[in-house]
Amino acid sequence: MVNPLAGPDHQFAAWFHAHLTQTFVTVLRALCEPGSSEWIGVVLFFAVLFFVWKRWWPSLATLIVAVPGGMLLNELVKMLVHRPRPFVAGQFVDWSGYSFASGHTIGATLLYGQLALFIVPSIKARHWRTLTVAGAILIVLLVGFSRIALGAHYLTDVLAGIVFGILWLALCLIAGKPMRRNRLPIPGNLLPDSGAVLVPIQQTGERAQSPLS
């Protein structure tokens, strides 16, 4: 079976490899850092501490399954596909491991995509919601671009990382719906799991109706 993207794959990789300079490599390595396992580990650590402190257990479970779980599945895909890197050695590159799919890209897609799913429902202003989503997308695209330009991955490796990440997040979102539905909101708190606010009970002579009734 012929890969229709085989031509663009090699053309992109060869063009960037021929135009790499020390300054360009420094910039690219900074751009791909938000998708590195070290960076993701640090962000996850503080996110887990925050969710434990807030006792947002459904959010904590979703985060752990979505991000580390998805990254582990990507490593399995790498072992099954066994695709070599575009370049394994050179003046500015020295890569090991396999190429498909891009671990940095899927890690960024999972982490910032999941954080956006947590944050966006609690933002009231439409422009801030748009900026949050756009920011997450921009980070993912910059990480993916940097990995292609550095010669660590082909274009299809990066595209596959984005697609796999989106599909895994969608699966986690669907699978976590029953858990979020069964959890009642805490009065006065906005929960990222439910996206709902409990309306305060008015001080009247009549008994106020619960928003859940």
What pLDDT digit, counting tens, does each position of 47-70 carry? 999 999 999 888 899 999 999 999
CB atoms within 10 A of CB 83: 17
Residue range 107-136, pLDDT digits in tens: 999 999 999 999 999 899 999 999 999 999
CB atoms within 10 A of CB 60: 17
Active-site annotation, residues? 104, 153
pLDDT recorded at residue 3: 56
What tokens were used for 106? 């899927």
Q: pTM value?
A: 0.79
Domain boundaries, the chain: 21-88+99-178
